[in-house]
Amino acid sequence: MSAPAYFIFHTTIHDREAIAPYLAQALATVAAFGGRRLLMGGPATAVEGKAPEGLTVILEFPSKATAEAWYASPAYQAILGIRLGASKSDAYLVEAVG
């Protein structure tokens, strides 16, 4: 059995109007791959180190391979440019261990 994997995004939105179509479609692309949104929140409060800026979004997928397939999927790639144009993001994929 494979371990779950998590896409973590730290996003600062520059243009709320421009990102609206992305927000309206993104979760459907996640669900199509068995994923779900665990968190959409912000701002973060630093307890140690430096807190990320903007919103934090955490998506959970059944496996790293599934998460990578979602990100590379035609449906997600079709809307990715909207997010990239309307916001600044750091995004990374983490596989659960243990």
pLDDT in tens, 75-92: 999 999 999 999 999 999
Q: In the Cβ-directed half-sphere of 66, how many Cα atoms lie within 13 Å? A: 19
pTM of the model: 0.93
According to DSSP, residue 12 is labeled E
Q: How confident is the model at residue 84, as a pLDDT? A: 97
Q: How confident is the model at residue 60, as a pLDDT? A: 98
Segment 9-67, tens digit of pLDDT: 999 999 999 999 999 999 999 999 999 999 999 889 999 999 998 999 999 999 999 99
Q: How confident is the model at residue 90, as a pLDDT? A: 95
Q: How confident is the model at residue 98, as a pLDDT? A: 74
Within 8 A by CB and 6+ apart from 52, the residues are 10, 44, 90
Phi, then psi, of 63 in degrees rounded to 5: -160, 165
Within 8 A by CB and 6+ apart from 21, the residues are 79, 82
CA distance 33 to 65: 10
Burial class (CB in 10 A: 0-12, 13-18, 19+), 50: exposed
